[in-house]
Structure 1
């Protein structure tokens, strides 16, 4: 069957969630908004007796997945990119169709190779690095490069709370709690939007703003210096540190909003320049990422039905594969 002519009378796609943190809860909410999907279970490394999914679906230990082969069409992996997904995605891709949100850009080729080998060995279909970056932003970078080959691409992130950088702050001696926001520099964005193709240093594109709760007796200046001089996180950026109370942190910085911009400027002839821009403004980074994962799970199920095994990325998907609508609907309403 051609995926573009999908039949709405098909049985719902059976999804399962591995990992029930912020992202897993987001997937649960996304499934509820997609009538062609059904959630079959949540699998966790915690004691399932203490995990209570909002949808009322059953919780199982992660080790129970092996017993449920044949009951899950696509497994959505909701662990972290640092320690979980490099091990879990290849492991589970041998037995299940899978989707993950692996976002360590430099390690994507290595991750792809491992998952591809596992999926081909198991005759399954896997899709890695789904979300908004990598994911939607990746598509925009490829499109810009293809449509304006004589050009330059710029990616800006924020304003948004960075979970990795916030975690780095919390490991600084003397810090009781804290968050960090990545903020694009507006002057740099305006230069890019002008189509002049500026050569921008890291410090020119983004700044970092930190809100920190000190432990009792901690030296505020020592903490500030430890943060702003931290290599790989803050030393290459203009970083501002604000000291606040625990009450302020809980009341004002519990949200997980994020977003960003991909801008491509280029020339089609010597005198004529063009600027393409794609942007996102998200109230919840994990909930939006989860919505992307669920759409990608639909595509994975269709690719598997078509016998396409191995690992894929969003760059391999057509928009029709992601959509629950039939080809006739898409042509009539969206083309």
Structure 2
């Protein structure tokens, strides 16, 4: 039985709580939050303050960190990894090498295990890019996200001073996808493949034009994309934009001999981005606990983990049923 703590309880934390209920080999110790525990409406889990996390160290095998990538995880993951095995969903692609290095150093110094940047992208899509490029080295990989709500980008919007609430949609260029699948060779820039649409609720007295400028020029999030910003009321946001669908496609087109075309396509269609991401985190929490038992200390990504470590099923049964 792997004993899990949830650190942070928003949409992702709630998704982890739901996922754990579907995994009988895992048990939830509790939710640890910066808010007053009595104000956190869990679905049955006990809630504690962050200060109580260390007190329960002996009861916890893995902490699943459910904070945002913009400001939470760069601080929380190295800090909590000093005392616990951890999983995070850090998804700022450009900063993953720096984040990995900081967490790896901490984990090795303190003999813990941390699996970072876990989810579906980075995560499952990263694996599929690796498989495709290894199998078809003469080819081209393109990744398309959406249409859907990006948790990381929405969180980045909500961190802007003067923003009360916000949701961001990533919208793929379907025309470009079809051209690639038909074999066209395209020289694509980042903004050719996706469009970003933001729905923002302002705090009273906030400067809309200044906030719009901060959004469209935000590095790593919006600066490289064509981005529309819509200012709406909280009522409108709640009515029209609180569902959290998402998905995407990894598309690799290559050749194996002269003009023999091969296409590898991996697609996700998700009714709930946070619930699916949470399910990936929970599977990798199982792997994290196993690595810790084997004393393989340090930081890891999905590219480092053998698939069998994700499953509760024994090796012999996996070979019999899945090969």
Give TM-score, length-normalised by structure 2. Answer: 0.89
Q: Hey, what's the Cα distance between the residues in 2 that align with 1:50 and 1:287?
A: 22
Cα deviation for residue 311 of structure 1 reads: 1.0
Which stretch of structure 1 is more off in the superposition, 189-198 or 278-287? 189-198
Quote how far apart the aligned CAs of 1:16 are.
0.7
* 1:295 match: 283
Say whether 1:22 aligns with 2:11: yes
1:47 aligned to 2:33?
no
SS of 1:208's partner is strand
Q: Find the partner of 2:21 among 32, 57, 60.
A: 32
| Structure-1 residue corresponding to 2:318 | 330
Give the drift of 1:38: 0.4
Q: Say if 1:225 and 1:89 are closer, same or farther in 2 by CA, change over 3 A.
A: closer
SS in 2 for 1:70: helix
Contact 1:172–1:226 (CA under 8 A) maintained in structure 2: no
In the other structure, the counterpart of 1:261 is 249
Tell me the residue number matched to 1:6: none
2:171 to 164, 170, 183: 183
**Runs (5+) with no aligned partner, structure 2:** none
Q: CA deviation at 1:51?
A: 2.3
Larger Rg: 1
Deviation, 1:128, is 0.6
Matched, 1:93 2:81: yes
What is the distance in 1 between the residues matched to 2:160 and 2:53? 38
Q: 1:150 aligns with which of 128, 135, 138?
A: 138
Q: State yes or no: 1:276 paired with 2:249.
A: no
Partners of 1:299 and 1:245 in 2: how far apart? 43
TM alignment of 1:1-335, pairs within 5 A: 12-55=1-44, 57-166=45-154, 178-211=166-199, 226=213, 230=217, 232=219, 234=222, 236-240=224-228, 246-335=234-323
Q: Given the two structures, how large is their TM-score scaled by the length of structure 1?
A: 0.86
Taking the aligned partners of 2:9 and 2:216, their CA distance within structure 1 comes to 35
Distance, in Å, in 2 between the alignment partners of 1:45 and 1:217 is 27
1:80 shift after superposition: 1.4
Describe the SS at the equivalent of 2:170. strand
Shift, 1:226, TM fit: 4.7
Secondary structure of 2:127's partner?
A: helix
**Aligned 8 A contact 1:173 1:223 in 2:** no
1:275-321 Cα deviation digits (max 9, x unpaired): 10111111111111110000000011111112211111111111111
Structure 1 alignment gaps of length 5 or more: 1-11
Q: 1:76 to 1:227 in 2, by over 3 A?
A: closer
